[in-house]
Amino acid sequence: MQAEPKKSQAESRAGGQPAPQAVSLVGEEYEVEVGPVAHGGHCIARTSEGQVLFVRHTLPGERVVARVTEGEEGARFLRADAVEILDPSKDRIEAPCPFAGPGRCGGCDWQHAKPGAQRRLKGEVVAEQLQRLAGLTPEEAGWDGTVMPAEGDKLPAGQVPSWRTRVQYAVDADGRAGLRRHRSHEVEPIDHCMIAAEGVSELGIEARDWPGMASIEAIAATGSQDRQVILTPRPGARLPIVELDRPVSVMRIGEKDGGVHRVHGRPFVRERADDRTYRVGSGGFWQVHPKAADTLVTAVMQGLLPRKGDMALDLYCGVGLFAGALADRVGDQGAVLGIESGKRAVEDARHNLAAFDRVRIEQGKVESVLPRTGIDEVDLIVLDPPRAGAGRKTVQHLASLGARRIAYVACDPAALARDLGYFRGGGYRVRMLRVFDLFPMTHHLECIAILEPAAKGS
């Protein structure tokens, strides 16, 4: 079924002449054959006129009715939801979550896909990004195409791992906690998030009213019983008395400065990884999946194979997870320099690694701080950049340092692929790539690429 788009009657006039206005196609429906998965939690289809549709809530090979949610005539692409499944994929299941589906919660992308199919789809996305942006086949990247689940996450279809140790709840005008709808500020009230970790769910946030609040972040630490909520009030609102089902520390976001301020309890949570405890303050970054930190540290150390006496860099080091692992392994004769832009994260990293005399943490942007250090040679590099990646300039600088091996930890396959292309231009090749499904039910994943000088592999 295909509907003719409605023509807009609205005109704007400039100099007495009518100016054409793009016609919105929101709400139009198209019957389409669904093509391959694309980066971002959707699949690609085309209208009979050839216009590209990015369709959520579908799977490759299905025939569906797609309803446009964003876009207009002449746009490069439209966004749409599959609102009727005419010919389902064998990988389709009934979404376990009652809040998943078109127009509902935007937190999960693949509730309607079997767990194994989710991992295959993610693998296809990584392979496509590598080929398109880096010119690499999986074989050239040292990858067998496998996307590995975290320990304990390999569950039958219809069962959902409860992995999310940090959940950002939005609050609607009536004070009800929920989650944002896809690409929207609208709130989907919920009574339970299936992917929330037990330590978050047991707080009972969804069962309470939150008048005057804009959002609530709930944190359940891994390896300790620390629980924390961070409240963001609406302008002029007073904080409510926080009485939850488990003891928590409470923080608030300042209305004027946007900073995180302690209300009561510890201003940090204690996380555990690689047999070490890390302090993470003020809602600072820590891997969301309870197994992620250990999984990534193990993979990075196995790829780098640190030696006693090595000089190592940990870039975008956060609270010092990889710097601590490196320091343990390079020993007293080695040295580690960490660079991190966040002031509170730097304070935490220095606290967490105070026992290591040969670890130094510098605050600032990597591209600014690293050239000022005067370092012109290192043995090992770990970089875990933000979603946008490290970028050409930083990669070129790192390639000039002659590291024996480089570990690139990436949460976005497109940024990873772009940077791998830059590294190739700097004389490095990918020795090994590993991909982990540390965000089940979503389109997100984590990659670790191990690089070495190309001449070594030739």
Which residues carry out catalysis? 411
**Residue 179: strand pairing partners:** 188
DSSP state of 207: G
**Phi and psi (nearest 5°) for 89?**
-75, 155
Tokens in use for 312? 């190592």
Residue whose tokens read 């194979």:
305
> Distance (Å, rounded) from C-alpha 5 to C-alpha 19?
19
- CB half-sphere exposure, 7, CA atoms < 13 A: 3
Tokens in use for 424? 């190739």
DSSP state of 355: T
**Of 458, 142, 77, 74, which Cα lies nearest the Cα of 299?**
142
**Of 76, 70, 75, 73, which Cα lies nearest the Cα of 55?**
70
> Distance (Å, rounded) from C-alpha 126 to C-alpha 435?
9
> Distance (Å, rounded) from C-alpha 452 to C-alpha 234?
50
| Secondary structure E strands in 394-445 | 405-410, 428-437
Residue whose tokens read 């590294």:
423
Torsion of CA 348, 447, 414, 179, to 10 degrees: -60
Q: How many helices (H) and strands (E) does the chain have?
A: 9, 25
3-state secondary structure of 257: coil
**Of 152, 179, 182, 181, which Cα lies nearest the Cα of 167?**
179
DSSP state of 131: I
**Of 235, 196, 180, 230, which Cα lies nearest the Cα of 212?**
235
> Distance (Å, rounded) from C-alpha 381 to C-alpha 398?
8
> Distance (Å, rounded) from C-alpha 40 to C-alpha 56?
9
Find all residues with CB under 8 Å of 341, minimum gap 6, and list them: 316, 363, 364, 365, 366
Find all residues with CB under 8 Å of 457, minimum gap 6, and list them: 429, 431
| Structural contact between residues 311 and 379, judged by C-beta atoms closer than 8 angstroms | yes
Query: Per-residue b/e over 311-344, b at no fewer than 16 CB within 10 Å?
Result: bbbbbbbbbbbbbbbbbbbbeeebbbbbbbbbeb
